[in-house]
Structure 1
Amino acid sequence: MTISKKSIFNIVFLIAVFALTLYGVFHGQDLGQIVACIRQCDIRYWIVSICFVVFFVESESVIIYYMMKRVGQDHIKFSHCILYSFVGFFFSCITPSATGGQPAQIYYMKKDKISIPIATVILMIVTITYKLVLVLLGVGVLVVRPEAVMHYLAPVIGWCYLGILLNCFCVGFMLLLVFHPTMAKRILFFGLNILFKMKFIKRKEYYEEKLRKSMEQYSEVAVFFQENSRVVFNVIIITIVQRFLLFFVTWLVYRSFGFKEHGPGIIMVLQGMISVAVDMLPLPGGMGISEQLFLQIFAPIFNSFCLPGMIVSRGLSYYTELILSAILTIVAQLTIGRRKDCKK
């Protein structure tokens, strides 16, 4: 019942945010003129953009598969890792602050006989590196303060600082959990005691034993990554490539309108700073705020085509990802663990 209510809340919240976003973007606008501007685009750039979105999602599959092999999960298929990634991005896109992605991935990994502690640590490292790239980008821009970039960021600089602060806190806390298993164990047992005192659980000893066994496996995996820094370094490199694949979509959209004045570097950095600002906000996919920041930052670059440019950019980088992820999530539901269930 609780899960059902939570799902209903997420759906209603998503629809409400989407409706408000549509109203905020299109209120008072000439829809015919917007459509006419979009029709002028070179759709060849859109096709390349969709390929980059797919590569962006599948880059996480490479990371998951690579780490699974490193921790001895040799039975995992790469095709299933692709499905894990699309499942994660789908639930991240529709839940506030992307909180639904990892639990959904762990659910399907468990169906593939991957223990929850192993899945948790691997996905935590994926999340850490994913957010760490944003932190490095944001801090780098605000420390170096390149004039060409800061000129466009001036209207939204407060959002950038907030995003960096929230991401730094999140990355720091998760690093503590992964690389200080003892602290993670204390936090979990502390939470278990609170649940027992509040009478949410009754068999305290039973859950303590289960938690202790899980933490032993969790600690083993965490120690492995501590002792194999090369693995983490490789994951960071792949994540950097992954992130900039998506940022590059905005430049492809820029080119699809026939613009040539700005190179990919500055547009990718500006799009990256939007991700820095909205990544930790409690909105599904940064919906609403991402559109507004795009319009403020890119207005001098896209000029009168800024609104059509934002529609195409968000349509390709977010809504295309959402639709593809939804389709592959259905595939995951129909395939992962299905054959084993049929045999039983």
Structure 2
Amino acid sequence: MKDYKNLFFKILKNGGLFLILIIFTFYFVFKDMDLNAVAKTISNVNIMYILTAVTCMCVFLLCEASNFRRNLSALGCKTNLLKCINYSVQGFFFSSITPSASGGQPMQAYQMYKDDIKISHSTLVLFVEFIFFQTVTIMYAIIGFISQRSLLAGKVNSLMILFTIGLICNFAMLMALVLVLFYSEGVKKILNVIVGFLKFCRFKKADVLKEKVDSVIDDYKDCAMYIVKNKGIMVKTFITKCIQIFALHSIPYWIYRSFGFNEYSIFVFIGVQAVLFISVSALPLPGSVGVSESGFLTLFKLLFPVTVLNEAMLLSRGVSFYLFVFLCGMFILVKYASDTRAKRLAKLQAAKEAAEKKVYKKRVVQQI
């Protein structure tokens, strides 16, 4: 677990890039705006719709926690909803502040390890969660693009390029995972051809690379067997994931309603947000900071009046990202302090008990 601890500190160090991106993003967005006017506009929104958006983010985290609990329980792991909420919070926070969301799953695996869950089980559960996340994200993006093509067509060509790249990258990743899971022998044959080519090019570590990849493929066989044997759990996991992504993508709609607008339906907003989400997902930026804000201003100008567009972006990203990065960060700090205090008290108690035993033995010896 030393590697996980090193990763923890590395992630915190890389958080500096995250903060720099935030500063530059909001500087360029608001440098020519009257901040007093922005504050006044935001102060007049309907707070009930803002709270609804916040509730949707809570649903997002709870859905992932529910999936963790369901799958860990199916593997015979002793867990509860509170622990699984911790895994969900850890994943959201560290995915948000690391490039390409690379820090989330390792930290979740580390937290599960601390709760005495085997690495093989945590890896399997995280892998299942990732597969369904990719599947549902792509599904929403395709449905959103098809349903809103008349709205999007010809108006946001630059973002459509990113949408195409994001869709291809995410779909290719999903297909690679499916092939590794259910066609492992075919993947190994392809790997042998690649290794043969590397050897022909005199790549010295070709055999070592093959052994590592073979080991990973063999580990994923357990995941494939788990998915096949637990079809009912997989259906529930898929439905929960659909609810989770629906809640996340609905947030711009609740922000729209908070300004008093009601011309467009929730499904229009979910479709547009799904397109935006997949468009920025392939970019290796922490939390897609910068590009998500720019994408919002580009796409949602089709739905929001220009007079409140910047404020809408600030509220939407504020609720769906920045607020919960802050809250999750505070949760992690409090939990870390609590765990540290508990360990310190446990050590003091152990030392006290050891001292009492030593005194007791000394008295017994003296009496003899």
- 1:134 maps to 137
The answer (yes or no) to whether the contact 1:112–1:336 under 8 Å persists in 2 is: no
Paired amino acid for 2:293? E
2:365 alignment partner in structure 1: none
Q: Is residue 2:310 matched to residue 1:307?
A: yes
Q: Per the alignment, in what secondary structure is the counterpart of residue 302 of structure 1?
A: coil
> Counterpart in 2 of 1:194?
none
Question: Over residues 226-277 of structure 1, what are the superposed CA-to-partner deviations in whole Å (9 max), with x where a residue is unaligned?
Answer: 2323322221111111001011111110011111111111011111111111
SS in 2 for 1:281: coil
Q: Which residue of 2 aligns with 1:275?
A: 277
Q: For structure 1, which segment, 217-226 or 19-28, has the greater mean C-alpha deviation from structure 2 after superposition?
A: 217-226
Post-superposition offset of 1:319: 0.9
Would you say 1:83 and 2:89 are equivalent positions? no
| Deviation digits for residues 40-76 of structure 1 (CA, Å, limit 9, x no counterpart) | 2111111121111111111100000001111221x11
Q: Does 1:44 align with 2:48?
A: yes
Partner of 2:119: 116
In 2, the alpha carbon distance for the partners of 1:185 and 1:116 equals 24
Q: 1:336 to 1:118 in 2, by over 3 A?
A: farther
Whole-angstrom distance in 1 between the partners of 2:185 and 2:113: 24
Contact 1:61 1:78 in 2 (8 A): yes
* Superposed CA RMSD: 3.2
Structure 1 residues 144 and 261, CA gap change in structure 2 (3 angstroms) = closer
Give the match for residue 175 of structure 1. 178
| Structure 2: unaligned runs, 5 residues or longer | 196-203, 351-368
1:176 positional shift? 3.4
Give, in angstroms, the shift of residue 332 of structure 1: 4.2
Match of 1:322 in 2: 325
What pairs with 1:1-344 in structure 2 (closer than 5 Å)?
Answer: 3=7, 6-7=10-11, 9-73=13-77, 75-142=78-145, 146-150=149-153, 153-154=156-157, 156-179=159-182, 219-303=221-305, 304-334=307-337, 342=346
Shift of 1:116: 0.9
The residue number in structure 2 matching 1:201 is none
SS in 2 for 1:262: coil
Which blocks of at least 5 consecutive residues in structure 1 are unaligned? Answer: 191-196, 199-203
Q: Which moved more, 1:27-36 or 1:139-148?
A: 139-148
Instruction: Indicate conservation of the 8 Å contact 1:87/1:332, yes or no.
Output: no
Query: Deviation at 1:34?
Result: 1.4
Please give the alpha-carbon distance, in whole angstroms, between the structure 1 residues aligned to 2:287 and 2:115: 28
Q: Which has the higher contact order (CA 8 A, sep 6+)?
A: 1
Please tell me the residue identity of whatever aligns with 2:257. R
Letter in 2 for 1:82: I
Letter aligned with residue 288 of structure 1: G
**Could you state the TM-score of these two structures normalised by the residue count of structure 2?**
0.79
Residue 139 of structure 1 deviates from its aligned partner by 2.7
Paired residue type of 1:249: I
**Equivalent-residue separation in structure 1 for 2:6 and 2:67 (angstroms):** 33
Which structure would you say has the larger Rg? 2
Q: How many residues align?
A: 326
CA drift at 1:115: 1.0
For residue 335 of structure 1, report the CA deviation from its aligned partner.
5.8
After TM superposition, give the deviation of residue 330 of structure 1 in Å: 2.7
One-letter amino acid of the counterpart of residue 52, structure 1: C
- Which TM-score applies when normalising by structure 1? 0.84
Partner SS for 2:117: coil
- Residue 94 of structure 1: CA displacement? 0.4
Separation in 1, partners of 2:100, 2:267? 27
Structure-1 separation of matches of 2:49 and 2:34: 25
Following superposition, the deviation at residue 215 of structure 1 comes to 8.3
Closer/same/farther in 2, CA of residues 126 and 185 from structure 1, 3 Å limit: farther
Give SS of 1:166's match: helix
For the residues of structure 2 that align with 1:336 and 1:83, how far apart are their CA atoms? 13
